[in-house]
Amino acid sequence: MTKILLSGCNGTMGKVITNLVAERNDCEIVAGLDVNTTPNGIYPIFGNADDIDVKCDAIIDFSHPSALSGVLKYALKTQTPAVISTTGLSEEQINSIHLASSQVPIFFSANMSIGVSLISELAKKAASVLGNSFDIEIVEAHHNKKIDAPSGTALMLANAVSEGLDYTPNYEYNRHSKREKRTKNEIGIHAIRGGTIVGEHEIIFAGNDEIITISHSARSKSIFAVGSINAAVFISNKTPGMYSMKELVAEC
């Protein structure tokens, strides 16, 4: 039984994770961490990581970028594996995650969906075959309350495409679709924010007289919650290092 500390437990994703874990028999949430310490009647909730007095096997962080330093500090202090699912992190924060992974196991992915992991690999393969003669555009859409734009997933997909090319592209981010003509070695990333869209990502390979698209549509936040829970169970007995959906899928 994997004992989980849930950071961001009173947030939208935290509540989804709490409900899903209650339906499983391979893990349980033993404590929560959140600036909002309103009790949920299920497990103790702490406002400060230094006050946590419950032993856990893994941390799931689905909170806010501002909470990352406290989560990593706790993980290092207690030698507890951590699943970092929060998006909108700065380059400096991502570097701190990699640094922490030299001492504790860290599972880090811009998107916790197995489906997104799959289309990332497909996009990489498509880029290796089509990239030199096709223009590449990435379009992503999320709800109007999402903080970061472009999404971490869009950047992850752009990096996957980049790995499949025989040249190093530039990324051109455009919040709106109207733009000037793009140069050859650029990947366009377009962000849409509106309504309650959970998450839509599409990679477009546009060539002469043909268009190839690879897309993923998230219909519920639960797919990300399930991924983070599976990651926590997966990483609870691993050695220090960086892990991602690729390693989790390979072990399934």
Catalytic annotation, residues: 142, 146
Report the interhelical angle of 91-100 vs 68-78 (nearest 10°): 10
Instruction: Give dist(CA 252, CA 241) in Å, integer.
Output: 19
Asked if residue 8 lies in contact with residue 62, where contact means CB atoms within 8 angstroms, the answer is yes
Instruction: Give dist(CA 21, CA 4) in Å, integer.
Output: 10
Element (H, E) at 159: helix 152-164
Local structure of residue 2 (DSSP, 8 states): E
Cα-Cα-Cα-Cα dihedral of 219, 224, 230, 234, to 10°? 140
Instruction: Give dist(CA 229, CA 112) in Å, integer.
Output: 9
Residue 162 has, within 13 A of its CA and on its CB side, a CA count of 15
